[in-house]
Amino acid sequence: APAAAPAAARSFDLEARRITFAYSPRAAPVIEDLSLHVPEGTHLAVVGPSGAGKSTLANLLTGLAAPRRGRVTLGGAPLDPAGTAAAITLIPQESYVFAGTLRENLTYLCPNPAEARLDDAVHAIGLAGTVDRAGGYDAEIPPGGATLSQGERQLITLARAYLSAAPIIVLDEATSHLDPAAEARAERALADRGGTLIVIAHRISSAERADLILLLDGTAHALGTHDALLRRSPLYAELVVHWHN
């Protein structure tokens, strides 16, 4: 479970109410009239073709971008920087690993955790082999994590999220350098951790693991379970067939 849930919001339900977003006043909307309710504890996957607005939605849900119309709320209240920073951890595709020890990198969002908790995160995410190869938690990591593979850097940021107190984790293609088995292990660990998990997916298998799926296609969108979308969305069915073939 998250280390300690922030107390600012009465609940951690995340809701987008008829949001529209474009990158400039004259540009066509990337997201248009989208409503989405993510109850606390939900595992949501967001899928769709490249350019469909998935990363834009991640930015809107985490307060990094503001909708042109509509609003995003957390626990019924508008997003504010302090509340968002405490409640939501966003892990982007480009992994942030800094010069320092491996321990410092892992505990960046959760200073001084118990050693058992650190071990639990490392084993749950699938990072134990990397820790051993590096020489333990106190091994020095060079700037940018130059001695680590891209996949190892992503695993470090995923373990960092696992350790954080945030009740909401958003992964924006944060497993793109992992193979499918490593991705599945990390996503299951984050889902089992407790709290809300939102995955901006680059593989349809991420959607198959989720409780709920949001399909984006331009300014069109559909929400449902895997089975429901298979029945009613030709695009979703096509994405599933493409992945499995």
Q: Residue 15: pLDDT above 60?
A: yes
Domains of the chain: residue spans and CATH: 41-55+86-244 (3.40.50.300)
If pLDDT is split at 50, 70 and 90, which confidence band does 219 have?
confident
Q: Is the pTM of this model over 0.85?
A: yes
The predicted structure's pLDDT at residue 6? 47
DSSP secondary structure of 157-203: HHHHHHHS--SEEEEESTTTTS-HHHHHHHHHHHHHTSSEEEEE-SS
Query: How many angstroms separate the CA atoms of 213 and 225, rounded?
Result: 6
* 10-24 mean pLDDT: 94
| Structural contact between residues 125 and 185, judged by C-beta atoms closer than 8 angstroms | yes
Q: For 57-109, how does the pLDDT look when each residue is reduced to its tens digit (9 = 90+)?
A: 999 999 999 999 999 999 999 998 888 989 999 999 999 999 999 999 999 99
* 194-222 mean pLDDT: 93
Q: How many Å separate Cα 218 from the centre of its chain?
A: 21
